[in-house]
Amino acid sequence: MRDDDGFEIDRAFDLLPHVVGASWATIWFRMNKIRRPNVVEFRNKVVEYYKMLDPLVTCYSNDEKLADMSRHIRLIYQQEMDRILQGKNQEIEKRFKRYIDYG
């Protein structure tokens, strides 16, 4: 796999955590009238919804030509979950603060 082969996937994984994970988590907290979740609860809920993307992560698993890309996708997917849970994804942290401030 060339270095630039993963560009589009890498860009998707830049967006997916906050577009999917944080958006769905925010709706869940709002609909359940939980105005002040702690940051760990918020991150866990983001990861819960983010994990629902698993069918996309595994969609290339059966194609031998895409084995390198499939490994790359699984790696970056796991790394992103780790970043969220450790508070290292700044977009998720911004979304949490925004929810707490304006929820």
Domain boundaries, the chain: 3-102
Three-state DSSP at 12 gives helix
Residue 103 has pLDDT above 70, yes or no: no
Residue 90 has pLDDT above 60, yes or no: yes
Region of residue 63 (left: phi > 0; alpha: psi -120 to 50; beta: else):
beta
Residue 102 has pLDDT above 90, yes or no: no
The pLDDT assigned to 3 comes to 63
Confidence of residue 2 (pLDDT cuts 50, 70, 90): low
Supply the pTM of this predicted model: 0.91
Average pLDDT score, the chain: 93
Q: Spell out the alpha helix ranges (H) of 1-103.
A: 7-16, 23-31, 39-50, 54-57, 67-85, 90-102
